[in-house]
Structure 1
Amino acid sequence: MTSVGSGYDLSVSTFSPDGKIFQIEYANKAVENSGTVVAIRAKDGVVIGVEKIIPSKMLESTSNRRIHSIDLHVGIGIAGFLTDARQLVLRARDEAKQYKQVYGQPIPIKVLSQRIASFCHAFTLYGSVRPFGCSITVVGIDSYGPQLFLIEPSGSCIGYFGTAMGKGKQAAKNELEKVKFADITCREAIKLVSKIIYSVHDEVKDKDFELELSWISTESNNVHQMVPAPLKDEAETLAKQALEEANM
């Protein structure tokens, strides 16, 4: 056969001889072709930054969002197909709602992340479905403090201090490895995330983009929300200045 998987990519439930499931590999490829997402777990909260590619100048700035709130204390950042991610967002909201109805308290971030990861994994087990073509970061603050989890199309769910997804993943991770997460605050993390996303964006190859920033911290009263406009503008200005200095 002429396909890349030589016939082993026709079903999500078929392993290739070297132990790969090609449909999951293709889903990961969809994530790698998406705009960069960077998330940092600071000492007082968590920050998400998304490079939202603008396919048309007529697109409204508030549409096609890649950051969503699940509950007051939980947010999600998306890399990959938005249509697939929308199902995970709706599922996460249902899980958070049901947990609160049953136990009378907000759902812990780790529990929510593991439930969504199990939902993703279920779509890698049957030939009648395909994996979700997206990865998501789940962030929030609960009784254990600030939390950050990355969920991949395979159903993998891993906690991080800082992580990145999308086109500029590797370059962003190289920058994140230099950060002392125990000392950084959310305000500093906002500036750092902005700087990383502007530095990994390729102005020649890529289309224009809009920077989306959200945070949940003690300053936001432990509520997940978009970063206030003055703080976002300041972070973008500093990021652009740093980029110009680097180019010079």
Structure 2
Amino acid sequence: MQMAPQMGYDRAITVFSPDGRIFQVEYAREAVKRGTTAAGIKARDGVVLLVDKRITSHLIEAESIEKIFQIDEHIGVATSGLVADARALVDRARVEAQVNVVSYDEPISVDVLSKKICDHKQTYTQYGGVRPYGTALLIAGVDGSIPKLFETDPSGAMLEYKATAIGAGRNAFMEVFEEQYKEDMNLDEAIMLGMEALYNASDMKLDASTLEVGVVKVEDKMFTKYSSQQVESYVERILENHKDETEDAEDEEAEK
């Protein structure tokens, strides 16, 4: 009995298929695509990270789910995919940031940290007995007076973006970003753009308790996570902007 052409090529991370693919890496990318949606947006005065935590049960304490992490004073990351893998990478990133301070007496730059994390992820696509990380990271920070935003991939690839998204709602987010993103927008406008994209991706339903927002400002080069009250204020503004649409949707549901 002859084996199917692709059979067996996904059994190990070190085996290429005849058409040059590594299936285990592609499976890891699928894990990211099934994850919660995370977005990053560069503004002229900083960078915004926004995550929809997608709470699956009302019994879960929303605060216990963390998808945005602080790495250093000037760097934060948002994750999508396997949360446990993301935590391991976050811990490694924090160590790399502190090693840089001890070794060179200066904060690590965003691109150097991104490359170090991607180098580590790439090694897990090259050796037997391991599997790729099933998570992608959006790394946001400020170098000098320049905001930076990088997307990392399970393969170890790295790209710098003006605005991007990862996870289940990526396509819906990218459509909004392609149409509405402007390079001269400020942080407030960038957050509203992210909320607008999330509103479109979530079928006009937003819940501040399931959202996380983090920002890095050029002014003070400090990463901060917004409180639930601050996030709620942005959600209210978006819902107010789409008040007519929301009312129409509620009327349709009532009729059904």
Q: CA deviation at 1:180?
A: 4.0
Task: Assess, with a 3 A threshold, how the Cα gap between structure 1 residues 202 and 129 changes in structure 2: closer, same or farther.
Answer: farther
Q: CA deviation at 1:66?
A: 0.3
- For the residue of structure 2 that corresponds to 1:62, the secondary structure is helix
Task: Assess, with a 3 A threshold, how the Cα gap between structure 1 residues 57 and 228 changes in structure 2: closer, same or farther.
Answer: closer
Unmatched tracts of structure 1, length 5 or more: none
Aligned ranges for residues 155-170 of structure 1 at < 5 Å? 155-170=156-171
Q: Would you say the 8 A contact 1:199–1:243 is kept in 2?
A: no
Task: Assess, with a 3 A threshold, how the Cα gap between structure 1 residues 216 and 151 changes in structure 2: closer, same or farther.
Answer: same
Q: CA deviation at 1:21?
A: 0.6
Task: Assess, with a 3 A threshold, how the Cα gap between structure 1 residues 2 and 31 changes in structure 2: closer, same or farther.
Answer: farther
For 2:4 and 2:77, how far apart are their aligned partners in 1? 35
Q: CA deviation at 1:212?
A: 0.8
Aligned ranges for residues 48-67 of structure 1 at < 5 Å? 48-67=49-68
Aligned ranges for residues 88-237 of structure 1 at < 5 Å? 88-143=89-144, 145-202=146-203, 210-218=210-218, 221-237=220-236
Q: Counting helix residues as a fraction of each chain, which structure ranks higher?
A: 2
Q: CA deviation at 1:11?
A: 0.5
Q: Would you say the 8 A contact 2:138–2:149 is kept in 1?
A: yes
Unmatched tracts of structure 2, length 5 or more: 249-256
Please tell me the residue identity of whatever aligns with 1:195.
Answer: E
Task: Assess, with a 3 A threshold, how the Cα gap between structure 1 residues 222 and 10 changes in structure 2: closer, same or farther.
Answer: same
Q: Would you say the 8 A contact 2:146–2:218 is kept in 1?
A: no
Q: Would you say the 8 A contact 2:76–2:140 is kept in 1?
A: yes
Please tell me the residue identity of whatever aligns with 1:214.
Answer: G
* Pair member with larger Rg: 2
Q: Would you say the 8 A contact 2:86–2:135 is kept in 1?
A: yes
Q: What is aligned with 1:31? A: 32
Q: CA deviation at 1:244?
A: 4.9
Q: TM-score, normalised by structure 2?
A: 0.89
For 2:83 and 2:242, how far apart are their aligned partners in 1? 29
For 1:224 and 1:15, how far apart are their aligned partners in 2? 41
Q: Would you say the 8 A contact 2:147–2:218 is kept in 1?
A: no
Q: TM-score, normalised by structure 1?
A: 0.91
Q: Would you say the 8 A contact 1:195–1:242 is kept in 2?
A: no
Per-residue CA deviations over 1:10-30 (Å, capped at 9, x if unaligned) read: 101111111111101111111
Q: Would you say the 8 A contact 1:23–1:130 is kept in 2?
A: yes
Per-residue CA deviations over 1:77-119 (Å, capped at 9, x if unaligned) read: 0000000011100010010000000000000000000000000
Task: Assess, with a 3 A threshold, how the Cα gap between structure 1 residues 3 and 224 changes in structure 2: closer, same or farther.
Answer: farther
Please tell me the residue identity of whatever aligns with 2:244.
Answer: E
For 2:9 and 2:138, how far apart are their aligned partners in 1? 30
Task: Assess, with a 3 A threshold, how the Cα gap between structure 1 residues 165 and 209 changes in structure 2: closer, same or farther.
Answer: farther
Q: What is aligned with 2:10? A: 9
Say which is worse superposed, 236-245 or 22-31, in terms of deviation: 236-245
Percentage of pairs with the same residue: 34
Number of residue pairs matched by the alignment: 245
For 2:5 and 2:56, how far apart are their aligned partners in 1? 29
Per-residue CA deviations over 1:21-69 (Å, capped at 9, x if unaligned) read: 1101111111111111111010000001101011221222221200000
